[in-house]
């Protein structure tokens, strides 16, 4: 499989991400229960990937429904969607993709049961193809900012394990590695959940891109030694003035880049922009359980009863960001004006 | 026990640091083999603590020697010292303390066996007391830079688990917590070996100082949110112009402090200064095994065969350092002049 998800010959397959990086295993999703479980237990993760997977899962949930009545099938589709929504109650892309399928079914006039099933599957395929195209376009636009021999820092996981295609920031890196010689990647391990070491390093190794893992506290020293040429990360949310919320540690990377005169890029599809939000001070940041900070892979690293603070994300102000790469092109400062021009309409 | 080492009623006791933070256990060191093993297996760690422990260990190794000849005892002392030197071949403080005991014995004219044994023990006690006094003085000088309610960031372990007394940077924090109300500490976990979460958090909890553990990539965001008032770290080596080599991640903390206008202090005894070295570009930095980066507590966090870079230390230029706290007083810029005045003579 080239990506983390594949639909071929009426078969839905995904990479079981809970086994990475120790073991690579593709699993076939044959039932609705298995699909629900795959999202719930994080076998499938990464916001865009969850959306695509959920859309296919609706079809998995109805393909064997034995009825001649399209009304009955429509009811079943609704209940399957409602059920899938419960698999991960905070995943915006999950809801978005499921409601898109629901709306497509609702507004269609189809009365044939096989055609209605095909409609669901076609919509899932469309969501899949669209996501792959977004990734491809970010890669194509972003790669122009890179050069042969670039030594690139990245943070967290933004690649084919997080999307249906090559990813966001990693899509740009993959494109750079395809086009240019001697591209070298440094991957922050990304504590507490280690998406960098577990997933990004694994992805890049699988695609034979030169990658070196570092602890999150090491990037600054590499910059001091002149070992980093540019940094690129993804985004969870981007404000109207170009501020970015992303995985905890992103802000520190941005400050370090700024201090060392190293370009700092953000790659994200236009759906990541929230133009109702003016700046980063208005973004609520999720605080997660201190257990994630106090343990690693089940091993306790802090004393029993220790306090720990676990902000899952942080925010980076626009003045630290050299450019934002989207499927619609590269956005440069002044962000307020250029984001409105390219994204807002 | 108040510290990590205690000599009382002719008994040498230490905290077994390999069991922390899960379990607190004091062990009595009854034999030379046990002493050697305690250093070798990192039960006793922290450069100054190793030195003090090694000095006492010489006495442990000779106290039961049954001879009437002071020449024979002198030979035995030499061989015990030679043996202890092999326990950790790169520990400068270990050699320093052992050679100091050797020199004391060599230059003494004592011919009585009991008196010679007492001489060894007295020298160990002196090294112990001196180290405690260094810690106390750093605390006393440094605390003047702090205020009630301070929220202090620290990195790695620099406390009573690393010295015979209260520590270097942590000694200042302990003194601040004793004198001022509502002092709050944030401890970087300090990957890869997690001295922050395993040792510093444990120490501060044991002394009932308010401490919160964070991942190394989180401090920057806390500074952005105005949650940190000052940072203090230890040092492995300080150059003639005030540059500092210290645990990997220190430089990033310094850059973040500078960016946010937060004072960044270094606390270290005057023995840490290496005035033959002009600036940080001349400090060799140890690169350690990539296994430390690829695993945590034995759990593999990276794919098999992954590249990883593991600089154990980094370097911080003097312009990022607000003040250096030593037992001789607080040194401020211009460092070249003031270090020469206070340290060099």
| Interface touch B216/A221, C-beta < 8 Å | no
Size of interface A-B (CB pairs under 8 A): 196
Pick from A290, A283, A261, A268: nearest CA to A339? A268
Query: CA A100 → CA A58, A119, A120, B44, B130, distances in Å?
Result: 11, 12, 10, 62, 73
Q: Please tell me the number of Cα atoms within 13 Å of A63 on its side-chain side.
A: 16
B236 is catalytic: yes
Q: Where are the beta strands (DSSP E) in B145-302?
A: 151-154, 184-188, 210-214, 230-233, 237-239, 244-247, 264-267, 273-274, 295-296, 299-300
Question: Across residues B104-132, what is the average pLDDT?
Answer: 98
**One of B128, B131, B150, B236 is an active-site residue; which one?**
B236
Residue B233 structure tokens: 């770290």
Alpha-carbon span B195 to B218, nearest angstrom: 16
With 80 as the cut, is the pLDDT of residue B90 above it? no
A195 has a chain B CB within 8 A of its CB: no
Alpha-carbon span A312 to A336, nearest angstrom: 26
pLDDT for A44: 96
- Mutate: best of A252, A256, A288, A292, partner B, most B CBs <10 A: A252
**One of A131, A150, A166, A236 is an active-site residue; which one?**
A236
Distance from A281 to chain B by nearest Cα, in Å?
10
Residue A57 three-state SS: helix
Query: Is the Cβ–Cβ distance between A127 and A99 less than 8 Å?
Result: no
Contacts of A202 in chain B (CB under 8 A): 302-303
Among B189, B221, B299, the residue with its CB nearest the CB of A251 is B221
Pick from B78, B72, B140: nearest CA to B105? B78
* β-sheet bridge partners, residue A44: none
A19 has a chain B CB within 8 A of its CB: no
| Interface touch B296/A299, C-beta < 8 Å | yes
Q: Please tell me the number of Cα atoms within 13 Å of A174 on its side-chain side.
A: 26
Question: Across residues B139-161, what is the average pLDDT?
Answer: 98
Contacts of A213 in chain B (CB under 8 A): 290, 293-294, 302, 306-309
With 90 as the cut, is the pLDDT of residue B229 above it? yes
| Interface touch B303/A205, C-beta < 8 Å | yes
Q: Where are the beta strands (DSSP E) in chain A?
A: 5-8, 11-15, 26-28, 151-154, 184-188, 210-214, 230-233, 237-239, 244-247, 264-267, 273-274, 295-296, 299-300, 307-308, 313-316, 323-326, 329-331
Residue of B nearest to A220 (CA): B252
| Interface touch A201/B311, C-beta < 8 Å | no
Alpha-carbon span B71 to B74, nearest angstrom: 5
Q: Please tell me the number of Cα atoms within 13 Å of A308 on its side-chain side.
A: 32
Alpha-carbon span B21 to B6, nearest angstrom: 20
Residue A122 three-state SS: helix
B315 has a chain A CB within 8 A of its CB: yes
Query: Apex CA A93: angle with CA A282 and CA A269, to 5°?
Result: 70
Could you tell me the pTM of the whole model? Answer: 0.95
- Mutate: best of B252, B257, B258, B289, partner A, most A CBs <10 A: B252
Among B256, B258, B309, the residue with its CB nearest the CB of A218 is B309
Pick from A340, A220, A110: nearest CA to B155? A220
| Interface touch A301/B202, C-beta < 8 Å | no
Alpha-carbon span A324 to A335, nearest angstrom: 9
Residue of A nearest to B245 (CA): A221
Residue of A nearest to B297 (CA): A299
Question: Across residues B78-96, what is the average pLDDT?
Answer: 92
pLDDT for A224: 98
Q: Where are the beta strands (DSSP E) in chain B?
A: 5-8, 11-15, 26-28, 151-154, 184-188, 210-214, 230-233, 237-239, 244-247, 264-267, 273-274, 295-296, 299-300, 307-308, 313-316, 323-326, 329-331
| Interface touch A221/B189, C-beta < 8 Å | no
pLDDT for A149: 98
Residue A27 three-state SS: strand
| Interface touch B221/A252, C-beta < 8 Å | yes
Among B190, B307, B315, the residue with its CB nearest the CB of A213 is B307
User: DSSP string spanning B91-121?
Assistant: -HHHHHHHHHHHHHHHH-----HHHHHHHHH
* β-sheet bridge partners, residue B203: none
pLDDT for B109: 97
A128 has a chain B CB within 8 A of its CB: no
Q: Is B85 exposed, middle or buried (0-12, 13-18, 19+ CB in 10 A)?
A: middle
Chain centroid to CA B303: how far? 33
| Interface touch B306/A211, C-beta < 8 Å | yes
With 80 as the cut, is the pLDDT of residue B228 above it? yes
Residue B236 three-state SS: coil
- Mutate: best of B224, B303, B305, B310, partner A, most A CBs <10 A: B303
Contacts of A302 in chain B (CB under 8 A): 21, 189, 197-198, 201-202, 213
- Mutate: best of A303, A305, A312, A313, partner B, most B CBs <10 A: A303
pLDDT for B345: 62
pLDDT for B239: 96
pLDDT for B103: 98
Question: Across residues B201-214, what is the average pLDDT?
Answer: 98
pLDDT for A298: 83
Q: Which residue has the tokens 């759906």?
A: A271
pLDDT for A90: 76
pLDDT for B180: 97
Q: Which residue has the tokens 């507590």?
A: B297
In A, residues 258-297, which contact B (CB 8 Å cutoff)? 258-259, 290, 293-294, 296-297
With 90 as the cut, is the pLDDT of residue B156 above it? yes
| Interface touch B224/A251, C-beta < 8 Å | yes
| Interface touch A217/B188, C-beta < 8 Å | yes
Pick from B240, B250, B222, B229: nearest CA to B312? B250
Pick from A241, A261, A234: nearest CA to A322? A261
Q: Sheet harboring B11-15: ordered strands across?
A: B5-8, B11-15, B26-28
- Mutate: best of B25, B209, B217, partner A, most A CBs <10 A: B217
Alpha-carbon span A169 to A178, nearest angstrom: 14
With 70 as the cut, is the pLDDT of residue B136 above it? yes
pLDDT for A92: 83
Q: Is A106 exposed, middle or buried (0-12, 13-18, 19+ CB in 10 A)?
A: exposed
| Interface touch A197/B248, C-beta < 8 Å | no
Alpha-carbon span A316 to A250, nearest angstrom: 7
With 90 as the cut, is the pLDDT of residue B344 above it? no
Alpha-carbon span A141 to B278, nearest angstrom: 46
pLDDT for B234: 97
Query: Is the Cβ–Cβ distance between B173 and B154 less than 8 Å?
Result: yes
Residue A313 three-state SS: strand
In B, residues 88-117, which contact A (CB 8 Å cutoff)? none
Q: Is the dihedral of CA A189, A131, A57, A87 positive or negative?
A: positive
Residue A259 three-state SS: helix
B201 has a chain A CB within 8 A of its CB: yes
Mean pLDDT by 10 residues, chain A (345 residues): 95 96 96 97 93 98 96 98 92 92 98 98 98 98 98 98 97 98 98 96 97 98 98 96 97 98 97 93 92 91 96 97 98 98 85
| Interface touch A218/B307, C-beta < 8 Å | no
Distance from A250 to chain B by nearest Cα, in Å?
8
Contacts of A301 in chain B (CB under 8 A): 21, 189, 194, 197-198, 296-297
A187 has a chain B CB within 8 A of its CB: no
In B, residues 20-49, which contact A (CB 8 Å cutoff)? 20-22
pLDDT for B205: 98
pLDDT for A57: 98
Enter the ipTM.
0.94
pLDDT for B322: 98
Alpha-carbon span A336 to A321, nearest angstrom: 13
pLDDT for A345: 63
Ramachandran area for residue B213 (φ above 0: left; ψ -120 to 50: alpha; else beta)? beta
């Amino acid at each position: 499989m080239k990506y983390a998800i594949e639909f071929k010959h009426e078969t839905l397959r995904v990479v079981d991400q809970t086994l990475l990086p120790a073991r690579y295993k593709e699993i076939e999703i044959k039932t609705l229960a298995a699909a629900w479980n795959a999202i719930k237990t994080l076998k499938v993760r990464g916001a865009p990937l969850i959306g695509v997977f959920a859309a296919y899962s609706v079809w998995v949930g109805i393909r064997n429904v034995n009825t001649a009545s399209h009304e009955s099938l429509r009811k079943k589709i609704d209940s399957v969607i409602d059920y899938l929504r419960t698999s991960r109650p905070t995943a915006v892309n999950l809801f978005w993709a499921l409601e898109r399928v629901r709306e497509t079914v609702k507004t269609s006039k189809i009365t044939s049961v096989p055609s209605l099933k095909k409609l669901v599957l076609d919509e899932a395929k469309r969501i899949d193809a669209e996501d792959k195209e977004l990734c491809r376009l970010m890669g194509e636009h972003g790669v122009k900012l890179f050069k042969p021999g670039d030594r690139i820092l990245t943070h967290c996981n933004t690649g084919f394990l997080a999307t249906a295609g090559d990813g966001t920031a990693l899509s740009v890196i993959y494109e750079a590695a395809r086009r240019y010689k001697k591209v070298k990647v440094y991957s922050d391990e990304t504590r507490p959940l280690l998406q960098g070491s577990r997933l990004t390093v694994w992805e890049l190794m699988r695609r034979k891109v030169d990658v070196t893992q570092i602890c999150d506290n090491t990037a600054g020293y590499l910059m001091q030694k002149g070992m980093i040429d540019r940094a690129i990360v993804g985004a969870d949310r981007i404000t109207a003035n170009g501020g970015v919320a992303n995985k905890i540690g992103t802000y520190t990377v941005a400050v370090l880049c700024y201090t060392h005169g190293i370009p700092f890029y953000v790659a994200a599809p236009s759906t990541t922009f929230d133009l109702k939000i003016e700046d980063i001070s208005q973004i609520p940041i999720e605080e997660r359980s201190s257990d994630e900070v106090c343990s690693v892979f089940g091993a306790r690293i802090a004393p029993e009863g220790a306090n720990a603070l676990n902000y899952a994300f942080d925010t980076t102000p626009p003045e630290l960001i050299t450019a934002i790469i989207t499927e619609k092109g590269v956005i440069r400062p002044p962000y307020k004006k250029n984001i409105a021009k390219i994204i807002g309409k």
